[in-house]
Chains A and B, each alone.
Chain A
């Protein structure tokens, strides 16, 4: 084809990144396809695809709603059987039976299970929420203030993970089965085997106790001391990030290796592109899809799964809050946070599924 010859000449003359990308899109076989020049077929295709997509979307949203309902029900049911009478906890052990009974009816604890569930879910959905027993503030405010610690922690951890894993994964894939690859894979095995809380302890031992560079724990608060707060998040984020980087590196490596086997990569190489262009312009775009998926899932998990590391560093995050609330039998706090965490994971899964369906038509056409 004449166009391919033209592209080759273009590539030989110019090696600028963007130019190659543009020329590639312009002259690729995809766009040379006659059918795409026919407007009516293009419109038809678009409509057909969006029809599939909306059908898929409706199905998925329905499932999401059902899952969220089930999650909320399970959370409520599990905490319903939790031993410990909230009224007793609020009033202490010296309370008389009458005051206890009064408080119970005030809190709605004497109503049947389903009434309590409906009360709770409608209060949560309307945004009113419940009151924390221990802290005596709305649970919603409590979650927001703790999310200000856990959110940035998870975000910094994921940035650290990406910065470590992408170059390593690509490097390992380029040097498959050579010394470089084997040493990267050894690193990932170590990362997978290291408990993140132990890594946290070791980091404290080295950077806080020995070198005195970072605080050993605690959190001064964003408004009181921004730089200090940021510094106190760095070590825990690093501990979380390195462990996740181990997984991400493996995913990146195998994904890049998979894509490099594809036909279109062979075509790109046959066109005479340099290996670097093939890798970074053609292969990487597609190879990053599974990496992004895992990244999204890890982010969702981190919001819920930072409990242990928050305890290691005494960070007032969401995980530590729920851990302490369970100990204090602060039922409203536990219930709402568990619901929040479980819902976060379910919703992240939902978006990951959607992203996959957008990328891969086979998924939305299935069943």
Chain B
């Protein structure tokens, strides 16, 4: 851990993400106000001692909504990375192990998926199944599958060619045991790096889709949706468009820096 902390990227990333995670965790027990409570007497108020970040068009406290929005973003980030990683690792291992036709078809399929515009597909999915946060997770997660497939395949190909795999095979280990005991642990560090970065991308993507009205549905708080609502009241209360966006940028910056830091520490030669 000490070695990690020397890296400036890692340190900054850790601090930034810790704040977000903490805010999200605290919001389960306590927020300054109920995030969905409307208060018509205090509509569109500027930041003050009572409402640190001001209130929105229904008089809801923006700080509370930003805190609850953090839970939403973290949840989307985790779910999409899990979807992409589980499917991607399995497909990547199959492609690397079997090779030939399996490799070729899996890689061409992932090319095909790369060809589809991601935002558009998410819109299509929400048109078919209706707009909801779980559909957004599926839509983003699907696009993570080829990312993790390619990574897993590339790294696994390298590992399977190494001497210690030969040695394990010679000492009678089964192919399953080799996969779980030798290949997967070596995959861990590139996967963690990739997962951190994809997490940040997911937060951005969810915000964009929620801005379009496809993700989190009102009255639940989502940073992207808050920005959409804020745009209407931009001239009267500009602070409404500042803080949710700042929260997104903060979170994405945090996870990006964290990913960079882990990469610098674990694998300085990786791209």
Contact surface of A with B, Cβ cutoff 8 Å: 63, 67, 70-71, 74, 78-79, 81-83, 189-190, 192-195, 197-198, 201-202, 204-205, 209, 301, 304-305, 307-308, 311-312, 319, 322-323, 326-327, 334, 338, 341-342, 345-346, 349
Which listed residue, A83, A193, A312, A319, touches B252 by the CB 8 Å rule? Answer: A193
Contact B241 A304, beta carbon cutoff 8 Å: no
Q: Determine the residue in chain A with the shortest Cβ distance to B16.
A: A193
Does more than half of chain B's interface fall in helix, strand or loop, or is it mixed? helix
In the complex with contacts A209-B238, A322-B120, A195-B111 CB distance below 8 A = no
Contact B119 A193, beta carbon cutoff 8 Å: no
Contact B204 A195, beta carbon cutoff 8 Å: yes
Alpha-carbon gap, A344 to B2, bound state (A): 48
Contact A342 B116, beta carbon cutoff 8 Å: yes
A residues near B117, Cβ cutoff 8 Å: 301, 304-305, 338, 341-342, 345
Please provide the chain B residues from 218 to 271 with a CB less than 8 Å away from any CB of chain A in the complex.
224, 227, 230-231, 234-235, 238, 241-242, 244-245, 248-250, 252-253, 256-257
Binds A, one of B61-69, B123-131, B172-180: B123-131
A residues near B204, Cβ cutoff 8 Å: 195
B residues near A74, Cβ cutoff 8 Å: 112, 116
Contact B115 A197, beta carbon cutoff 8 Å: no
Q: How far is the CB of B211 from chain A (nearest CB, A)?
A: 6
Q: Determine the residue in chain B with the shortest Cβ distance to A208.
A: B234
Q: Determine the residue in chain B with the shortest Cβ distance to A322.
A: B120
Q: How far is the CB of B127 from chain A (nearest CB, A)?
A: 5
Alpha-carbon gap, A205 to B235, bound state (A): 8
Q: How far is the CB of B126 from chain A (nearest CB, A)?
A: 9
Alpha-carbon gap, A307 to B121, bound state (A): 12
Q: Determine the residue in chain A with the shortest Cβ distance to B128.
A: A82
Q: Determine the residue in chain A with the shortest Cβ distance to B235.
A: A209
A residues near B127, Cβ cutoff 8 Å: 82, 326-327
**A82, A201, A202, A323: which has the most chain B beta carbons within 10 Å?**
A201
B 67-78 to A, binary, CB cutoff 8 A, 1 in contact else 0: 000000000000
A selection of 7 A-B contacts at a CB cut-off of 8 Å is: A82-B128, A195-B249, A205-B234, A209-B238, A304-B120, A326-B127, A349-B115
A residues near B211, Cβ cutoff 8 Å: 197, 308, 311-312
Alpha-carbon gap, A315 to B212, bound state (A): 14
A residues near B123, Cβ cutoff 8 Å: 307, 322-323, 326
A residues near B115, Cβ cutoff 8 Å: 67, 71, 342, 345-346, 349
Kindly list the 10 A-B residue pairs having the minimum CB-CB distance in the complex, ordered from nearest: A304-B117, A198-B245, A193-B253, A193-B252, A346-B115, A193-B249, A326-B127, A308-B208, A345-B115, A201-B241
Contact B119 A304, beta carbon cutoff 8 Å: yes
Q: How far is the CB of A10 from chain B (nearest CB, A)?
A: 39
Alpha-carbon gap, A83 to B126, bound state (A): 11
In the complex with contacts A189-B257, A205-B238, A326-B124 CB distance below 8 A = yes
B residues near A63, Cβ cutoff 8 Å: 108
Does B81 sit within 8 A of A, measured CB to CB?
Answer: no
Which listed residue, B112, B227, B250, touches A201 by the CB 8 Å rule? Answer: B227
Alpha-carbon gap, A205 to B227, bound state (A): 12
Alpha-carbon gap, A192 to B256, bound state (A): 9
In the complex with contacts A201-B227, A307-B120, A193-B212 CB distance below 8 A = no
Alpha-carbon gap, A327 to B131, bound state (A): 11
Q: Determine the residue in chain A with the shortest Cβ distance to B112.
A: A70
Q: How far is the CB of A173 from chain B (nearest CB, A)?
A: 16
B 182-202 to A, binary, CB cutoff 8 A, 1 in contact else 0: 000000000000000000100
Does B44 sit within 8 A of A, measured CB to CB?
Answer: no
A residues near B230, Cβ cutoff 8 Å: 201
Contact B256 A202, beta carbon cutoff 8 Å: no
Q: 18 additional contacts, CB 8 Å, given A198-B248, A202-B242, A204-B234?
A: A67-B108, A67-B111, A78-B124, A190-B249, A190-B253, A193-B248, A194-B249, A197-B207, A197-B208, A198-B245, A201-B231, A304-B120, A307-B123, A308-B212, A311-B211, A322-B120, A338-B120, A342-B115
